Amino acid sequence: MTYDHSLPNARIRLVEATIRVLATSGPSEVKARSVSSEAGLSTMGVYTYFGGVSELLQAVSDEGFSRLTAVFECVPVTDDPIVDLCTMVLACRDLAHINPHLYDLMFGLSIDGRYSSSRGTPAPASSGYSAERNSTYSVLLKACTRLADAKCVDKVDPALIALQLWSAAHGFIMLELAGFFAGINDPASEILVATCTNIVVGLGATRE
């Protein structure tokens, strides 16, 4: 079989193929050969377009954040910024459940042999993050700024609100994916939304 490495969408095909392999087989099967085969390219495609598997994984992580940004941007803006933020964290949870291994990769986790991002973990607004990751954070920060501007909470830096909510959502998602909430009837409502609500109430909002 011959392969055409000049295809203009080869990079996209390789990224999407990797996401599919992560979803169906897990990170242990993310190899140059398996991903290239899934994309309909030769093994050299990974090296031609990315330089190696590590660079491909970074591109996959960036695509994951692009998808999360799109999900955040689809959340309707209402007159209740607290509801909007809860809707955003629930949307993040939904995305994580669609492809848990992709979510792991996005946040640089290495659990049970899963891949860990090759990059460091600087603060969300720092230049050390990719543009895609910064875009995701910017959408969350914008929603938290709306919360602060609406005077729903005490005078607090919106960046701190964003980090608190993101930490709560991320911790919940990791525990849920690991099966810690198997005995809870509705963990999203009883734990995730409740935790986010408690955070904003602690910042000065009323429960009404």
- How confident is the model over 102-137, as pLDDT tens digits? 999 998 764 444 444 444 444 444 456 788 999 999
Q: CATH number of the domain that 31 lies in?
A: 1.10.10.60
Q: For residues 101 and 198, state if they share a domain.
A: yes
- Does 100 lie in the same domain as 38? no
> Are residue 47 and residue 74 in the same domain, yes or no?
no
Token digits of residue 190 = 């009883």
Shared domain for 92 and 7, answered yes or no, is no
Contacts of 60 (CB under 8 A, 6+ apart): 15, 18, 19, 22, 102, 105
Is 126 part of any domain? yes
User: At what angle are helices 32-39 and 53-73 packed, to 10 degrees?
Assistant: 50
In this structure, is residue 174 part of a structural domain? yes
Count the residues in the chain.
208
Q: pTM for the complete prediction?
A: 0.85
Residues of the domain holding 197: 61-202
Residues 32 and 65 reside in one and the same domain: no
What are 26-64's pLDDT values in tens digits? 998 999 999 999 999 999 999 999 999 999 999 999 999
